[in-house]
Structure 1
Amino acid sequence: MTRALGEKTRLLQEERDRVAANADFLSMIVHDIKAPLTGVRLTIEALEDETLPPDIHHKLQGIIQQSEGLLLHLHNVLDLSRFESGRLALRPEPVPPAFIIQRLLHHFGALAQHQGVNLVVPPSPDLPSIMVDEPSLDRVLANLLVNALAATPQGGEIKVKALPGADRREVEIIVADTGCGLSPEDQEHLFEKYRLSRHKNNGSGLGLYICKTLVEANHGRIWMESAPGQGAAFHLALPAVREAGAGPGLEGPPVAPETSTI
């Protein structure tokens, strides 16, 4: 009995070591690819400042779009590897939701314009900060924006907005598009690993699985509302910072940032 337990423990440790080694290897590969790819993008963005013919400008925007998608895929693979090896470190801190959304608009505005899609950010009400790991939330929203851009036809619209949660303990961020929508069957398996939905010929099928993983790691919730031909709306509910005198559900001292590993 003792020998069998010892053997199981040894095999479990070997598996953990193997997963950790794979995570280290993937991290190294992603870094080696990411550095030159970022350099290519920065060079193209510098070229855009020059006076160029419209057709060249259009092609440069296409290159930026493809490089953005590739970088996002690399981050998804790396996040998945870190999560499965128990080495996904999060550092939550208070972040104003309007700041996150405006940065998203700045980052994806040119890509949306290139595709002929109207990216809209309505004025946000006065909201408390959210307690999140900022880089992981950036990747969640980037995945949702890339998916929305892939699903929304030219002349369509993508709206990103923040609202107070129903119980005032959360802030809700919504990414809604006027794309093709999703069937009930697709919605049932939407957040599963390697699941492709609206744009089946593109992507790795990891994006929404990573979104769910990162949102839940930040003590939040994610869900989607959609119907075929009527677009889709992805909702993120994230914990609000509790501040003294902020009203029901938000009293108490500010939540102190802490580092967690899952």
Structure 2
Amino acid sequence: MSEYLVMPLVPLDTQTALYLLGVVYLLMSGLVWMILRPHHEAAAISLWCGGGGVVGITYFIFTLGGLLPAYWTTQVPVSLGLLGMGLRLCALYRESGREGGWRVVMVAVAIAMLLVLTLGAAMPSWRRVLNGTLMIAAAVWIAVMAVRLGRFPHGRGSEHIAVSYAFFAGSYSLRIGVSVLAAASGTYVPPNLAPTLDLFLVLAGGLVAGIFGNVGYVGMALERARIRRDAQAADLAREQAQRSAAEARAAVLAERLAERDEFVRVLAHEVRQPLNNASAALQSAGAALQVGEMSDAGEVQARLHRAQKVISHIVGSIDNTLAATTVLASEQPLAPRDADVNVLLEMALGDLDPQQRVRVLRDASSSHARTAAMDIGLMRLALRNLLSNALAYSPRGSPVVLQVSDSDEPLGLVFEVRDQGPGIAPEMRDRLFQRGARGDHGLPSHGLGLYVVQQIMLRHGGRASWAPHEPQGSVFRLWLPLVD
């Protein structure tokens, strides 16, 4: 039985085949180094290519059979082959990120080399069995490690490594089986390099591992390089996005600081002279009261009313400026609460000059809503700005209508302020709610009122709009969404 398995010859010179295998391993190792050096980690490439170079030298030493003692052409090259495969294992452990695994590999390789160099020489009949078993174990270890690498995003390269070394282990297993039968029978121990079919299967396995194993490693390494580049590109894009966001945030903060400075300057300019006027009116009224000019009580009352009106204008300017510089510029989300709509209207009307307040006609018959989610302080300011503008720009004595109605599409609450003033000039309509927008109406203004109104509505998720009022005047609408 054993003679049948070992005696068929293959018409190929064994030394030539071994020499060609050595050339293949050396050339492939050099090619892998040149391809991967610019793209991959030098340590891992050095281990893999170094291991391939050692295996190539191993095949060259095998070809020296007959020129050197048998020990130097059998046990020594086998031990070197185990070293080469161990270096490749270390490379795969490094690829997996388990760099500490090389210690286990090298200890195992050292033990295997010691067994080959001692027991293999002492037991000629079982030498091939021992050598082959250790080579199979090393090849299986490489295949298993490649399979584990295949679970990570290394592409199909690791699969090529696993298959090629599994084939190498399988071909060596056949030779071991033949050797076990021969050693157990004790009738035939063939020369180590007899050109038998099982030997050339082992050589074929070595060729497959030498070519496809290297090709697989190149594919795996290039895939890792691509993944690393993609990760670096993603990190760079993330850093650029963060930098852009930080720059945008810095620009927004700088703009808000500039706006705040401008608001403070506007407030100081708008408040200083009216305060002087109010102070003068109060001093005049106080002087008249001190001298007892009771006959001029009407004049005193007029002066007091004028001072009160100026102070009311100042309060409105301060409220608008503070709203624009604090609440509206804040990044904190608005926290609306349910508030009574009638209470809101009473508060907004209560802010007006009593002599002007009577001109406002209130109509809430079109609304069924009693409460709505809002910041009542900000909504009060928005309504007060619209009502103050309507009263200021309408003809003296003309009514201003404040209407509250429901909106179905979209669902919400609508506040309308209708006046009979001059309306809005066409060139002003597109920028009506922008900061600093002022019409040519001859009244003092810094363009904050309608800007604040629009910002308040946007913070509530609503909007402010304008439409002409037929036959004359303007209609300002505030749409406030209703939350189910």
Same fold by TM (over 0.5)?
Answer: yes
**Structure whose CA Rg is larger:** 2
CA deviation digits over 1:116-162, x for unaligned, max 9? x7222135343241111111101111111221121012121111121
Structure ranking higher in helix proportion: 2
Distance 2:246 2:463 in 1: 37
Distance 1:70 1:104 in 2: 16
**Aligned-residue identity in percent:** 19
1:121 aligns with 2:121: no
Query: In the alignment, is the contact (CA less than 8 A) between 1:150 and 1:199 conserved in 2?
Result: no
Distance 2:476 2:393 in 1: 13
1:97 aligns with 2:341: yes
Distance 1:59 1:90, change over 3 A: farther
Query: 1:149-188 alignment to 2 at 5 Å?
Result: 149-167=391-409, 169-188=411-430
In angstroms, what is the RMSD of aligned CA positions? 4.0
Distance 1:165 1:66 in 2: 37
Query: 1:138-217 alignment to 2 at 5 Å?
Result: 138-167=380-409, 169-197=411-439, 199-217=441-459
Query: In the alignment, is the contact (CA less than 8 A) between 1:165 and 1:171 conserved in 2?
Result: yes
1:112 aligns with 2:353: no
SS at match of 1:53: helix
SS at match of 1:101: helix
Distance 1:219 1:15, change over 3 A: closer
1:55 aligns with 2:55: no
Query: In the alignment, is the contact (CA less than 8 A) between 1:181 and 1:229 conserved in 2?
Result: no
Query: In the alignment, is the contact (CA less than 8 A) between 2:424 and 2:474 conserved in 1?
Result: yes
Distance 1:159 1:232, change over 3 A: same
Distance 1:202 1:90 in 2: 31
Distance 2:247 2:472 in 1: 50
* Residue in structure 2 matched with residue 66 of structure 1 by the alignment: 310
SS at match of 1:121: strand
Distance 2:246 2:258 in 1: 18
* Residue in structure 2 matched with residue 133 of structure 1 by the alignment: 375
**Match for 1:82: what amino acid?**
T
Q: Which of 222-231 and 183-192 deviates more? A: 222-231
SS at match of 2:451: helix
Distance 1:9 1:188, change over 3 A: closer
SS at match of 1:164: strand
How many positions carry a matched residue from both structures? 228
Deviation at 1:93, TM superposition (A): 0.8
Distance 1:60 1:94, change over 3 A: same
Deviation at 1:196, TM superposition (A): 0.6
Unaligned runs of 5+ in 1: 243-262
1:86 aligns with 2:327: no
* Residue in structure 1 matched with residue 24 of structure 2 by the alignment: none
CA deviation digits over 1:183-242, x for unaligned, max 9? 333222211110012634411101111110111111112111126971111111112353
Query: In the alignment, is the contact (CA less than 8 A) between 1:170 and 1:238 conserved in 2?
Result: yes
CA deviation digits over 1:7-37, x for unaligned, max 9? 767766655665677789899998xxx9xx8
**Match for 2:306: what amino acid?**
G
Distance 1:54 1:69, change over 3 A: same
Query: In the alignment, is the contact (CA less than 8 A) between 2:363 and 2:402 conserved in 1?
Result: yes
SS at match of 2:363: coil
CA deviation digits over 1:18-59, x for unaligned, max 9? 5677789899998xxx9xx8xx99xx8xx9xxx992332233
Distance 1:28 1:148, change over 3 A: closer
Deviation at 1:94, TM superposition (A): 1.1
Query: In the alignment, is the contact (CA less than 8 A) between 2:345 and 2:380 conserved in 1?
Result: no
Query: In the alignment, is the contact (CA less than 8 A) between 1:184 and 1:227 conserved in 2?
Result: no
**Match for 1:234: what amino acid?**
F
Distance 2:462 2:441 in 1: 26
Distance 1:84 1:234, change over 3 A: closer
Distance 1:212 1:240, change over 3 A: same
Distance 1:60 1:122 in 2: 32
SS at match of 2:478: strand
Query: In the alignment, is the contact (CA less than 8 A) between 2:387 and 2:417 conserved in 1?
Result: yes
Distance 1:226 1:16, change over 3 A: closer
**Match for 2:309: what amino acid?**
Q
Deviation at 1:177, TM superposition (A): 1.3
